[in-house]
Amino acid sequence: MARALKEAFEGTAVVLTPDLPLHPKEALKEIHSIIDREQPDLLLGNSCGSFLAQMLAPVVGIPALLGNPYFMMTEFLKERIG
């Protein structure tokens, strides 16, 4: 999906596709740092990325487009990390 978006918007928009840490807390910190640095107009996420974008959008005041969101991520993680 990330590659397709970069190709689709080439020359029209800047599409950032960072490799994020697996741990959600670290990923949120990294995304927040990118937002502070790049000042994006939109957050876009797919699956776990949707979960993270949904959490950050109201905090940073940026709209989010969520593709295939996984809203039960806390339950998923609880089973795996205790």
Each residue of 56-69: pLDDT tens digit? 999 999 999 998 87
- Tell me the per-residue pLDDT of 14-73, one tens digit each, with 9 for 90 and over: 999 999 998 888 999 999 999 999 999 999 998 888 889 988 999 999 999 998 876 676
Domains held by the chain: number: 1
Q: How confident is the model at residue 3 (pLDDT cuts 50, 70, 90)?
A: confident
> How many other C-beta atoms are found inside a 10 Å radius of the C-beta of residue 60?
14
Buried b (16+ CB within 10 A) or exposed e, 24-50: beebbeebeeebeeeebeebbbbebbb
Q: Is residue 13 part of a domain?
A: no
Joined tokens for residue 78: 């609880």
Q: Is residue 65 part of a domain?
A: yes
User: What is the value of pTM for the model shown?
Assistant: 0.77
Q: Is residue 6 part of a domain?
A: no
Q: Is residue 46 part of a domain?
A: yes
